[in-house]
Amino acid sequence: MTVQSGKDLLIKIDFDGNGDFRTLAGLRATRIGFNAETVDVTSLDSAGGWRELLSGAGVRSASLTGAGVFRDDSTDLRAKDMFFGSQVTVYQVVIPDFGIVQGEFQITALEYSGNYDGEATYEMSLASAGALSFTAI
């Protein structure tokens, strides 16, 4: 596998609910993280006092974050509407030369900022809201 360009890690929103995925405008930095909570089943009978975990149990989740330049694009408006409506919609995350993660997410934070001598920027955080799928590239 060759080194990948960070600009190719894309967050896309299902723009119209019909599978028309569009890249969120203006993002400069994107991140996806996966989490799997554990279920500890350690007892006095655990061999050598080592912790034991219950296989296949626990809650799995994913989080997305993005930060970039506010472009006042149609995808910005769609994301704003999704946030203020507390709505869940389908997103795709394109991980270059690896695959596409797709599933429902909810925007949990949306921040806008700007300095008098610079561009307007925004940051957003999303939390998974259901099962995710992975398609290898």
CATH number of residue 126's parent domain: 2.30.110.20
Asked if the structure places residue 56 within a domain, the reply is: no
Asked if the structure places residue 94 within a domain, the reply is: yes
pLDDT in tens, 16-54: 889 999 998 889 899 999 999 999 999 999 999 999 999
CA distance 13 to 21: 5
The pLDDT assigned to 1 comes to 61
Asked if the structure places residue 72 within a domain, the reply is: yes
Asked if the structure places residue 54 within a domain, the reply is: no
Asked if the structure places residue 87 within a domain, the reply is: yes
Q: What domain count does the chain have? A: 1
Residue 77 has pLDDT above 90, yes or no: no
Asked if the structure places residue 85 within a domain, the reply is: yes
Range of the domain at 72: 6-35+61-136
Asked if the structure places residue 1 within a domain, the reply is: no
Helix (H) or strand (E) segment spanning residue 75: helix 74-84
- Radius of gyration of the chain from Cα atoms? 19
Q: What is the pTM of this model?
A: 0.86
CA distance 62 to 127: 6
Q: Which amino acid, residue 79?
A: A
Confidence of residue 137 (pLDDT cuts 50, 70, 90): confident
Asked if the structure places residue 118 within a domain, the reply is: yes
The pLDDT assigned to 33 comes to 95
